[in-house]
Amino acid sequence: MEFLDTVFFGNPVRIWLGSAAVLLAFWLAYLIVHRLLSGWIVALSARTRTGLDDALAAVIQATKPWLLMVIALQFAARPLSLSDNMDVWLTRIALVALGIQIGYWTAAWLNVVLSSWKIRRWGDDPEATMTFNFVSYVVNTAVWVFVFLLILENLGVDVSALVAGLGIGGIAVALAVQNVLGDLFASLSILLDKPFVIGDYLAVDDLGGTVRSIGLNSTRLTSLTGEQLVFSNKDLLQSRIRNFGRMEERRILFLIGVVYGTPPDVIRRIPGMIRTSIESHELTRFDRSHFKEFGDSALIFETVYYMTVPDYGSYMDVQQAVNLDILQRFAQEGIEFAFPTQHVFVESVGGSETPAAAGRDSVDVPLHEA
């Protein structure tokens, strides 16, 4: 047919039609393969619990048909007689499209890998979400920077000079924002090491509060009096942190003083009384109770026990019950609690009496009145 031999732009119509047929065949093949692979991935996901099928599904979804068509255009144009410049530009465009498509595939695969890693390590913890998003952002940025440099290298651009310039500029930027970068890396350290999580009560130096949010730059606490405390992540990790949220048991030490003059046999029974009062509660574990020392105005008993739960309210409930029980037992035994007192000795000297012969009287005076 004469029409098929008609020349357009230096090529017969049959050659143009052949190139168009190649593009059409490629498009049909893409649709068929994409549909088959999507169905196979769905069936595979139903049978397995591995992340391989999720990664394959993400790669398939990240496939851009317009990029594949640009790549196919370079192959379809092979039979055509084109100028050298046109061949060069088609090749370059195909390389750019291939690099971008590889970038999409790599980013999709890495996102699935990182998401699976996050779920295995932290589950659905909300405090890890923001920092994990930052990690994902950094990884994706690194992927696209690498793809960009790879494309430039294949296009004949001297990448080494560009990388050197970017390195010097990066150092200058890093020096300018080193405090911000320090907080960002500190947030990563909090995510990976998890010294505390949202809901923990922290004591930092003379400040304390409940963790409400962990951001990329700062961590925010709410104090017991209601105000918000804001710590930069870097400064927070450089401080000495007391995390009461990780407390498994609470150790309690308290002192009791009884008056001098209490009979020794009663003194021997007092540690047993205290122990009985403590062990009557399920949430306690008795450690010790001893007659510790002779105080200035009292005989001192030291007692230690543990609360098997860290809750402060439960501790106060038990301590109150223990105190009331000890108060009742001491009242039944006639044991008096001591309070700070001083003994004031009054010496009477009169007439010809010598100090040695003088009578003496002693008076107990409360210490706060002395």
3-state secondary structure labels for all residues of the chain: CCHHHCEECCEEHHHHHHHHHHHHHHHHHHHHHHHHHHHHHHHHHHHCCCCHHHHHHHHHHCCCHHHHHHHHHHHHCCCCCCCHHHHHHHHHHHHHHHHHHHHHHHHHHHHHHHHHHHHHHHCCCHHHHHHHHHHHHHHHHHHHHHHHHHHHHHCCCCHHHHHHHHHHHHHHHHHHCHHHHHHHHHHHHHHHHCCCCCCCEEEECCEEEEEEEECCCEEEEECCCCCEEEEEHHHHHCCCEEEHHHCCCEEEEEEEEECCCCCHHHHHHHHHHHHHHHHCCCCEEEEEEEEEEECCCCEEEEEEEEECCCCHHHHHHHHHHHHHHHHHHHHHHCCCECCCEEEEEEECCCCCCCCCCCCEEEEEEECCCC
- pLDDT of the residue at 229: 92
Give the CA distances from residue 353 to residues 34, 235, 344, 345, in Å, rounded to whole numbers and listed in that order.
122, 75, 21, 18
Q: Cβ–Cβ contacts within 10 Å for residue 341, how many?
A: 18
* Strands 11-12, 7-8: pairing kind: antiparallel
* Strands 284-294, 250-258: pairing kind: unpaired
- The C-alpha atoms of residue 134 and residue 151 are separated, in whole angstroms, by 26
Number of alpha carbons in the 13 Å side-chain half-sphere of residue 345: 5
- pLDDT of the residue at 331: 94
Number of alpha carbons in the 13 Å side-chain half-sphere of residue 148: 8
- pLDDT of the residue at 334: 93
Which residue positions in the chain have pLDDT lower than 70? 1-13, 42-53, 82-84, 121-134, 159, 161-181, 342-343, 345, 347-370
- pLDDT of the residue at 175: 52
Residue 220 structure tokens:
């925010």
- pLDDT of the residue at 278: 95
- pLDDT of the residue at 321: 95
Q: How confident is the model over 30-74, as pLDDT tens digits?
A: 788 777 777 777 666 666 666 666 777 777 888 888 887 877 877
Dihedral sign computed on CA atoms, order 67, 70, 76, 79: negative
Q: May I ask the CATH architecture of the domain 250-333? A: 2-Layer Sandwich (3.30)
Give the CA distances from residue 258 to residues 26, 38, 334, 342, 367, in Å, rounded to whole numbers and listed in that order.
97, 82, 11, 15, 15
- The C-alpha atoms of residue 48 and residue 55 are separated, in whole angstroms, by 13
- pLDDT of the residue at 36: 78
In this structure, which amino acid lies at residue 290? H
Q: Under 8 Å CB-to-CB from 52, ≥6 apart: which residues?
A: none
Contact 336, 256 (CB under 8 A): no
Strand partners for 230: 220
* Extents of the domains making up the chain: 3-176, 192-246, 250-333
In this structure, which amino acid lies at residue 151? I
- pLDDT of the residue at 356: 44
Which CB contacts under 8 angstroms, 24+ apart, belong to 236-240?
236/186, 236/204, 237/186, 237/189, 237/190, 237/195, 239/204, 239/205, 240/204, 240/205
Q: May I ask the CATH architecture of the domain 192-246? A: Roll (2.30)
- pLDDT of the residue at 354: 47
Residue 114 structure tokens:
């990182």
pTM here is 0.50
